[in-house]
Amino acid sequence: MIVRKAELRDALELEQLFHNTMEDVVTREELQNHVFIEDEVTRLMSVFEASLARTSTTTTLLVAIKNNSVVGTISLTNPGQIITNHVPEGSKARMVGTAYVHVDYQRQGVGKVLFTNILKVARTQNAEHVYLDAGFRSSRAYWQRMLGQPTIILPNFWSKGADHHIWSLDPLLKTTDLEVHRDKSNPI
């Protein structure tokens, strides 16, 4: 597997990846609102577009490539409103997001490799405060298995019983034993 910064040539595969994984989540979690899939895909594609700007110092989108296909993504961006409103550092924090893995490649370590690499990006950018948040039940469970208990739980945030979790990644920024997998021809 190769991990590299997203490139313009990835656009169609990314849009398809976002659409397919969002449909899978909506179906698996038995959500009623399928309308928001298109809005979410549009939002995710705007993260991709921001990452392409040569002058962008605020958005990095990494892709995992396996068998010549994009199989996963993760980003480091300025925080969204949920994190800005609920962490002490507010808008001065950074956020890990856009973490999506193709349905056929889930539970094969793709997410962990992407996460390790985006932490390396955060460290090279001298990020002081980095957070990750999750609202979908399956996403909360995944990150809780990987990161332990969330730093902040926003109970009933989406609806009754649908919490939102936020993890501080600051302690992970200080560790030096992160495993890194990357494409040396396209430095991260």
Q: Which of 165-169, 171-175, 181-185 has the lowest mean pLDDT?
A: 181-185
Query: Which has more pLDDT, 105 or 32?
Result: 105
Average pLDDT over residues 92-110: 93
Interval 86-103 mean pLDDT: 91
DSSP 106: T
pLDDT for res 174: 74
| Torsion sign, CA atoms 169, 88, 142, 99 | negative
pLDDT at 181: 38
- Kindly report, residue by residue over 56-69, the tens digit of the pLDDT: 678 999 999 999 99
Query: So what's the pLDDT on residue 34?
Result: 64
CA–CA distance, 43 with 128 (Å, rounded to integer): 26
Query: What's the whole-model pTM score?
Result: 0.88
Q: Per-residue pLDDT for 132 more than 50?
A: yes
Handedness of CA 84, 119, 171, 150 (dihedral sign): positive
Q: How confident is the model at residue 151 (pLDDT cuts 50, 70, 90)?
A: very high
- Confidence grade of residue 180 (pLDDT, cut at 50, 70, 90): very low
**Cα separations (Å) of 28 from 65, 131, 139?**
25, 26, 12
pLDDT attached to residue 39: 87
In the chain, the amino acid numbered 47 is V
The answer regarding whether domain 2-173 maps to CATH 3.40.630.30 reads yes
